[in-house]
Amino acid sequence: MFPNVKFLTSAAEARQLTPDVGREIAFAGRSNAGKSTAINAITGRSGLARVSRTPGRTQLINFFEVGAGERLVDLPGYGYAKVPDKVRARWTALLERYFEERTSLVGLVLIVDGRRGLKEQDVIMLEWALRRGRRVHVLLTKADKLTRSEADRVLRDTRGACGDSGVTVQLFSAHAKQGVEEARGLIAEWLALDHGMN
């Protein structure tokens, strides 16, 4: 739990990012994958990141402080078909630059709908993070919607797709409170690491 979590600021462009000091962990995923719900469950604050019924609306990078110099970052969802090409291109550039330049970024929590599995854009995010030495952990969400064998299969397939990259994968359900402690523990561990980038 992160009982002292508080909203810091939103950024629509690179110059609005919070100062690049301390440590932060980014959350990314396709629109509707369950990112806001996962952030709320992990922090233990139900209203923190809004759970949207209209995917693709949140086009901002939202920063939350969980401790002194420690942040969780809610990146805009991707994969939403109705976003105009120009908007999409601008966001791709901002996110790529964020992953390229952000020295306080220790790791990426990639939110993937367990019913869909890893998609091309998820792999792109994962590769942007890995390229600059960040840790990556995948949450396969909505596990409560999967049968045991479906859950086993998506876990195995996702781990297989990640190969020996060091990426870790777990099943997660905010609704069934499955895997929440595991995700929290990992985040606390990443925030405590001396990653030597700044």
Ligand X SMILES: Nc1nc2c(ncn2[C@@H]2O[C@H](COP(=O)(O)OP(=O)(O)O)[C@@H](O)[C@H]2O)c(=O)[nH]1
What residues make contact with ligand X under the rule CB under 6 A?
Answer: 29, 31-37, 51-52, 55, 77, 111, 141-142, 144-145, 173-175
| Least spacing, CB of residue 32 vs Mg ion, in Å | 8
Residue with nearest beta carbon to Mg ion: 36
Among ligand X, Mg ion, none, what binds residue 29 when CB lies within 5 to 8 Å by partner kind?
A: ligand X
The whole-angstrom distance between residue 70's C-alpha and the CA centroid of its chain comes to 15
Q: Which is nearer to ligand X, 59 or 103 (CB)?
A: 59
In degrees, to the nearest 5, what angle opens at C-alpha 132 toward C-alphas 130 and 136?
A: 30
Pairing of strands 23-29, 105-113: parallel
The rounded distance, in Å, linking the Cα atoms of 11 and 52 is 18
Cα separation of 188 and 180, whole Å?
Answer: 12
How far out from the chain centre does Cα 103 lie?
17
CB nearer to Mg ion: pick between 36 and 141: 36
Say how far apart CA 140 and CA 151 lie, in whole Å: 9
Which region, left, alpha or beta, applies to residue 98 given φ > 0 means left and ψ of -120 to 50 means alpha?
alpha
Site residues, Mg ion (CB under 5 A): 35-36, 52
Could you tell me the smallest distance in angstroms from the CB atom of residue 160 to Mg ion?
A: 28
Q: Least Å distance between CB 55 and ligand X?
A: 5
| Minimum CB–partner distance for residue 42 and ligand X (Å) | 12
- Partner interacting with residue 126 (select from ligand X, Mg ion, none; CB below 5-8 Å by kind): none
Is the CB of 92 or the CB of 198 nearer to ligand X?
Answer: 92
Pick what 135 binds: ligand X, Mg ion, none; C-beta below 5 to 8 Å, kind-dependent: none
Q: Which is nearer to Mg ion, 36 or 173 (CB)?
A: 36
Give the closest residue to 141 by CA, choosing from 7, 39, 26.
39
Closer CB to Mg ion, residue 52 or residue 168?
52
